[in-house]
């Protein structure tokens, strides 16, 4: 049955180079696209951008047909899809048990995780640039059809802030994926975090004066939301830095430590 | 070469692997044998860094697994053929391994051919694979980097008889070329036909290890003669320990050749002379009995 001979086993150790991080990252990037679910998640970025653009052209009032309206409409689905991509990139190794192979081919888990973060951020930045570009097309087409003036009301600095805001959503997905290492649990956790927590925090802020003053310092969603609105003040950057450290960086480091020590079965 | 030194794993107060030490040598197939739950898989996971040992460790060619710069090029690992993303095709899984190890892309079709997966099968999603096909794919992934050491957990599971034969020939060939093979099984027969060395483990401890030939020889000789009493006396006079088995034959703790010589020198005619079977099997059954349902019922 064997038509191909086995390689001659080398008596002496071949000169083997350490697997470079760039290669791990490239493979991890490929793994984000090469399954049916992965492919459709990626495709949904394009589909969502196009649908949002068309919907804005059709349904937005003519006076609102500005670039910011398009950027916002296209940017919103990204804050849902990108974290899902980031979550699944991490949790798949456990949920699908492919980690048995991944972590034996690269027996340093923090390197694999770093590669996954780089790959996710790459996808995130590319998606956001794509979304902003589609917004430009939408704005040109929409205003031409409506016969209104072209309004470019998003500065480069604001666009950068929007991309940063989306990447924070994506990295929150990465953190939750690392923390729970299970696709359904991490996805549910993300939606609780992104949908439920802001509502509760908002209610609390309207009823409790004490909390209202505290909110910018403790509510990551709230601190992050200003990135989408416009450029930030110094105080707002400080709020963002504190909340990101407490709710994103710290849990991520704890999760990373758990991941490196845990057993892969 | 794989060297295991005082490897132990405890979960809470439960000891799953209890101070095991052995060496899997180059050019030989080492069979890691034990009933289900004996600690084989945990031991193998510890060898490749997926599970942290409580104490002790393992080295491959003198280095810890985590210190290997590109482990796939030096150690082929298959711990669970089913542990793959069901949505990827077989070819894709093999390609990911090939790319991670930095190998030329022609290795992928080569390996598919080696493990007899057709082009059509390779392009199907692994979710639709039979266990036997997954084992073949797992072997392909383990071999794609041209490693000199193989660590395989239950590789024959799910293979049909022809597949088991194929696997045996493949691993034999690999060891004959100087490779080190460590494979586990809970089936004695599987290990008996393929392994050169056997490490038997039960409840986390090594209960027996050595060359297969020696372990089988240690079972002794079964002998019958016309005059059983004279035979027994002659054997005892030569310093051998003897006993009667339940069939009324004499069992002696020596090779058949030695027993035959003793008989000739004493001028005794023999009617039967053979290696006692199942020394290993008795030991294995005894092990299995401790954990299996049959054992508890008995």
Confidence (pTM)? 0.87
Residue A207 burial (CB count, 10 A): 9
Check: CB of residue B176 under 8 Å from CB of residue A7: no
DSSP assigned state of B178? T
User: For residues A102 and A29, what is the distance between their CA atoms, to the nearest angstrom?
Assistant: 13
Closest in B70, B101, B110 to A4, CB measured: B110
Contacts of A17 in chain B (CB under 8 A): 69-70, 102
**Domain membership flag for residue A128:** yes
Over residues A52-56, the mean pLDDT reads 93
User: For residues A169 and A177, what is the distance between their CA atoms, to the nearest angstrom?
Assistant: 12
* Helices A21-31 & A67-95 angle (0-180, nearest 10): 100
SS3 content of chain B, % helix, strand, coil (to 5): 40, 25, 35
Asked if A8 lies within 8 A of B73 by C-beta distance, the reply is no
Specify the pLDDT at position B291. Answer: 58
Residues 6+ apart with CB under 8 A from A20: none
- Sign of the torsion formed by the C-alpha atoms of B184, B187, B190 and B192: positive
**pLDDT band of A3, cuts 50, 70, 90:** very low
- What residues make up the domain containing A223? 21-260
3-class state of residue B32 by DSSP: strand
Specify the pLDDT at position A92. Answer: 93
Looking at the 3D structure of chain A, how many domains does it have? 1
User: For residues B86 and B134, what is the distance between their CA atoms, to the nearest angstrom?
Assistant: 11
d(CA A261, nearest CA chain B) in Å:
7
> Cα angle at B23 between A98 and A109, to 5 degrees?
25
pLDDT per residue over A116-138, tens digit each?
999 999 999 999 999 999 999 99
Contacts of B73 in chain A (CB under 8 A): 14, 16
List per-residue pLDDT tens for chain B, 298 residues long. 999 999 999 999 899 999 999 999 999 999 999 988 899 999 999 999 999 999 999 999 999 999 999 999 999 999 999 999 999 999 999 999 999 999 999 999 999 999 999 999 999 999 999 999 999 999 999 999 999 999 999 999 889 999 999 999 999 999 999 999 999 999 888 888 899 999 999 889 998 899 988 877 667 888 999 999 999 999 999 888 888 888 888 888 888 888 999 999 999 999 999 877 666 777 787 777 765 544 443 3
Show which residues on chain A lie within 8 Å of chain B, measured between beta carbons: 1-4, 6-11, 13-14, 16-19, 23-24, 26-27, 30-31, 34-38, 92, 96-101, 103-108, 261, 263-265
Residue A11 has pLDDT above 50, yes or no: no
Closest in A3, A98, A107 to B83, CB measured: A98
**Nearest C-alpha neighbor of B252 from the set B218, B283, B291, B288:** B218
**pLDDT band of A16, cuts 50, 70, 90:** confident
Residue A249 has pLDDT above 90, yes or no: yes
Contacts of B71 in chain A (CB under 8 A): 104-107
Residues 6+ apart with CB under 8 A from B272: B222, B223, B224, B249
**Domain membership flag for residue A191:** yes
Specify the pLDDT at position B296. Answer: 42
**Domain membership flag for residue A113:** yes
Show the tokens assigned to B29.
Answer: 């197939």
Contacts of B9 in chain A (CB under 8 A): none
DSSP assigned state of B268? P
Nearest CA in chain B to A94: B83
**Nearest C-alpha neighbor of B194 from the set B221, B167, B163:** B167
DSSP assigned state of B179? -
Contacts of B92 in chain A (CB under 8 A): 34
**Domain membership flag for residue A1:** no
Asked if B166 lies within 8 A of A1 by C-beta distance, the reply is yes
Tokens 């794919």, located at residue: B137
User: For residues B47 and B4, what is the distance between their CA atoms, to the nearest angstrom?
Assistant: 8
Specify the pLDDT at position B208. Answer: 87
- Ordered strands of the B55-60 beta sheet: B14-24, B2-11, B55-60
**Domain membership flag for residue A12:** no
Specify the pLDDT at position A12. Answer: 47
Give chain A's radius of gyration (CA, Å): 22
Residues 6+ apart with CB under 8 A from A27: A115, B96, B99, B100
**Domain membership flag for residue A112:** yes
Start-to-end C-alpha separation, chain A:
33
**Nearest C-alpha neighbor of B30 from the set B211, B214, B279:** B211
Q: Is B178 on the interface with A (CB under 8 A)?
A: yes
Specify the pLDDT at position B290. Answer: 65
Bridge pairing between strands B242-244 and B250-252: antiparallel
Domains identified in chain B and CATH numbers: 2-210 (3.40.50.300), 220-276 (3.30.70)
Region class of B63: left (phi > 0), else alpha (psi between -120 and 50), else beta: beta
Residue pairs between chains A and B whose CB atoms are closer than 8 Å: 133
Alpha-carbon distance values, B285 to A118, A194, B110, B252, B279 (Å): 53, 57, 41, 21, 10
d(CA A16, nearest CA chain B) in Å:
6
Residue A14 has pLDDT above 60, yes or no: no
d(CA B51, nearest CA chain A) in Å:
5
d(CA A42, nearest CA chain B) in Å:
15
Output b/e per residue, A45-67; b: 16+ Cβ within 10 A.
beebbeebbeebbeebeeeebbb
**pLDDT band of A6, cuts 50, 70, 90:** low
d(CA A30, nearest CA chain B) in Å:
8
SS3 content of chain A, % helix, strand, coil (to 5): 80, 0, 20
**Domain membership flag for residue A245:** yes
**Domain membership flag for residue A8:** no
């Amino acid at each position: 049955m064997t038509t191909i001979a086995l390689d001659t086993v080398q008596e002496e150790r071949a000169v083997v180079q350490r697997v470079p991080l760039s290669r791990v990252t490239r493979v991890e990037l490929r793994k984000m696209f090469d399954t049916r679910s992965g492919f459709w998640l990626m495709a949904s970025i394009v589909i969502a951008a196009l649908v949002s653009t068309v919907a804005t052209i059709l349904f937005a009032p003519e006076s609102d047909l500005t670039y910011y309206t398009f950027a916002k409409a296209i940017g919103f689905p990204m804050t849902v899809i990108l974290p899902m991509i980031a979550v699944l990139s991490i949790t798949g190794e456990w949920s699908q048990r492919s980690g048995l192979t991944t972590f034996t081919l690269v027996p340093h888990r923090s390197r694999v995780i770093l590669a996954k973060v780089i790959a996710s951020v790459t996808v995130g930045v590319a998606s956001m640039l794509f979304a902003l570009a589609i917004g430009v097309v939408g704005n040109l087409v929409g205003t031409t059809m409506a016969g209104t003036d072209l309004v470019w009301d998003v500065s480069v600095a604001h666009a950068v802030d929007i991309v940063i805001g989306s990447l924070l959503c994506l990295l929150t997905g990465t953190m939750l994926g690392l923390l729970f290492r299970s696709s359904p649990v991490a996805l549910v956790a993300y939606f609780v975090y992104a949908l439920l927590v802001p509502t509760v925090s908002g209610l609390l802020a309207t009823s409790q004066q004490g909390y209202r003053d505290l909110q910018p310092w403790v509510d990551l969603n709230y601190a992050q939301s200003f990135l989408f609105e416009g450029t930030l003040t110094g105080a707002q950057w400080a709020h963002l830095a504190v909340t990101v450290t407490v709710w994103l960086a710290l849990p991520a480091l704890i999760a990373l430590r758990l991941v490196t020590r845990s057993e892969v079965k | 070469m794989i060297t295991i030194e005082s490897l132990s794993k405890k979960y809470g107060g439960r000891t799953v692997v209890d101070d095991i030490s052995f060496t899997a040598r180059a050019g030989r197939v080492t069979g890691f044998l034990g009933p289900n739950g004996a600690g084989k898989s945990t031991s193998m996971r510890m060898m490749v860094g997926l599970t942290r040992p409580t104490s002790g460790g393992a080295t491959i060619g003198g280095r810890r697994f985590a210190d290997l710069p590109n482990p796939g090029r030096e150690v082929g690992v298959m711990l669970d053929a089913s542990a793959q993303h069901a949505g990827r095709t077989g070819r894709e899984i093999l390609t990911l391994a090939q790319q991670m190890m930095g190998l030329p892309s022609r290795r992928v079709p080569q390996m598919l051919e080696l493990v007899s997966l057709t082009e059509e099968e390779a392009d199907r999603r692994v979710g639709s694979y039979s266990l036997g096909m997954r084992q073949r794919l797992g072997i392909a992934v383990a071999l794609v980097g041209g490693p000199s050491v193989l660590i395989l957990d239950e590789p024959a599971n799910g293979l049909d008889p022809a597949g088991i034969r194929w696997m045996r020939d493949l691993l034999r060939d690999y060891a004959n070329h100087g490779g080190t093979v460590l494979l586990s099984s809970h089936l004695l027969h599987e290990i008996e036909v393929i392994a050169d060395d056997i490490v038997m483990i039960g409840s986390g401890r090594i209960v027996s290890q050595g060359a297969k030939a020696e372990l089988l020889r240690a079972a002794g000789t079964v002998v019958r003669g016309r005059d059983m009493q004279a035979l027994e006396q002659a054997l005892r006079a030569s310093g051998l320990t003897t006993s009667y088995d339940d069939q009324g034959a004499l069992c002696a703790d020596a090779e058949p050749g030695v027993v035959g010589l003793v008989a000739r020198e004493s001028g005794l005619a023999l009617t039967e002379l053979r290696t006692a079977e199942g020394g290993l099997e008795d030991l294995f059954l005894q092990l299995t009995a401790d954990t299996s349902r049959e054992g508890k019922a008995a």
